[in-house]
Amino acid sequence: MSQPSLSRILPQVIEAILHVLSTRYISYPFTADEQARVKAEFVRSFNFPGVIGAADCTHIALRAPSVDEHAYVNRKNFHSLNVQIICDARMQLLNVCSKWPGSMHDSFILRHSRGGLRLEAGDRGYPLKTWLPRTAEELRYNLAHGRTRSVVERTIGLLKGRWRCLDASGGKLLYKPEKVTRIILACGVLHNIALRHGIGMDVEIRMDPQEPPNPPPNEAPAPADAVRRRR
């Protein structure tokens, strides 16, 4: 297929995915029954109770926009959207917030996202206010917390590995931010469809390649209902 044909068809395909499939395949657990199911999955997978989602932000590179160009320059000095991902223990996406420029801080996106409003802050990107681990029990909690929240790193790695247009190491999306936002959401829908139908990948799942190393074990822990990773 030629590039002009692909460019002409792409908006129709994205619109069909988002209009017909998005609410069916990406759904945040707002009800008590839905939250109980997600919590049970985290207990089975990580032996960590009370978790209704693991959250992190990642940068999706795009061409420098003609409007408000400076707002899209992130802390690593390239143009991007800062995308918040919330997933469950099976790496299914529960919420994707992809509308904010790369310069926006993770905590700002959390406060202004529908799913994030249900979670409390828990790391340097989402700061705690009152305590640091001091006892051996608190340090063990932090280690368990770190193992649990690593699922969102793997989720982002799988998402970008499956849809390489989202991986900054492979280039950038050459569209306006509004269109990139919709491409990201469509990729998220297809990610969940692939997982639900057992469609595998031939490549190894990586952690998000843009992310810094894990925090040391004496970083502040998150509350029991929120698991997030330090940026």
Tens of pLDDT, residue by residue over 170-206, are 789 999 999 999 999 999 999 999 999 998 876 555 5
pLDDT higher at 95 or 120? 95
pTM exceeds 0.85: no
pLDDT of 118 > 80? The answer is no
Tens of pLDDT, residue by residue over 152-164, are 999 999 999 999 9
Tens of pLDDT, residue by residue over 28-38, are 988 999 999 99
What local confidence, expressed as pLDDT, does residue 138 receive?
A: 80
Tens of pLDDT, residue by residue over 58-74, are 999 999 999 999 999 99
Locus of tokens 């099976």: 90
194 vs 159: CA distance, rounded Å: 10
Give Cα separations from 208 to 31, 62, 105, 196, 231 (angstroms).
30, 17, 18, 22, 11
What local confidence, expressed as pLDDT, does residue 220 receive?
A: 39
Least confident of 13-17, 33-37, 124-128: 124-128
